[in-house]
């Protein structure tokens, strides 16, 4: 049962990460998903450099990069959880190790509730519940 719940939770994160990356890339062509509601703000983001970058990039490119790197993080985390599920089928895995997805999943859920919107909250809640179930069965 541990493996199944790790696969389920990890799969949710992989799916959320891929959809997030896809939406981000599509928004570079036709901004309508993970962008400001006022499309004029996108032009303002393109016209404003990031102070820390000393003219090396603008806020729009930073926004796209942040979103894509966030996607990679979610995909990587989900993949590690799936791999951990595979390892529980092959080896005896300490339950403390299975606690790591619970902790990271809980952090993602807290971020989703505080900063994001409905779909990530639902996905993170389902994944977090799956990770708790995996830990209980470990």
List, for residues 5-51, the tens digit of each pLDDT value.
Answer: 999 999 999 999 999 999 999 999 999 999 999 999 999 999 999 98
User: Which one, of 89, 100, 108, lies nearest residue 135 by Cα?
Assistant: 100
Helices (H), 1-138: 2-29, 40-47, 59-90, 95-115, 118-137
| Whether the Cβ atoms of residue 15 and residue 127 lie closer than 8 Å to each other | no
Cross-strand pairs, 58: 49
User: 122 falls in which pLDDT band (50, 70, 90)?
Assistant: very high
Domain segments of the chain: what residues?
2-137
Cα gap 74→99, rounded to integer Å: 17
The answer to whether 98 and 88 are in contact (CB under 8 A) is yes
């Amino acid at each position: 049962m541990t493996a199944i719940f790790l696969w389920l939770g990890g799969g949710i994160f992989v799916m959320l990460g891929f959809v997030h990356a896809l939406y981000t890339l599509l928004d570079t062509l036709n901004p309508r998903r993970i962008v400001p509601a006022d499309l004029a703000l996108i032009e303002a983001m393109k016209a404003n450099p990031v102070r820390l970058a000393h003219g090396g990039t603008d806020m729009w490119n930073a926004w796209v990069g942040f979103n894509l790197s966030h996607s990679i993080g979610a995909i990587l985390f989900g993949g590690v959880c799936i791999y951990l599920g595979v390892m529980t089928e092959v080896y005896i895995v300490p339950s403390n190790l299975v606690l790591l997805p619970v902790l990271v999943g809980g952090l993602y859920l807290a971020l989703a509730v505080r900063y994001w919107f409905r779909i990530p909250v639902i996905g993170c809640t389902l994944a977090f519940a799956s990770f708790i179930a995996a830990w209980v069965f470990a």
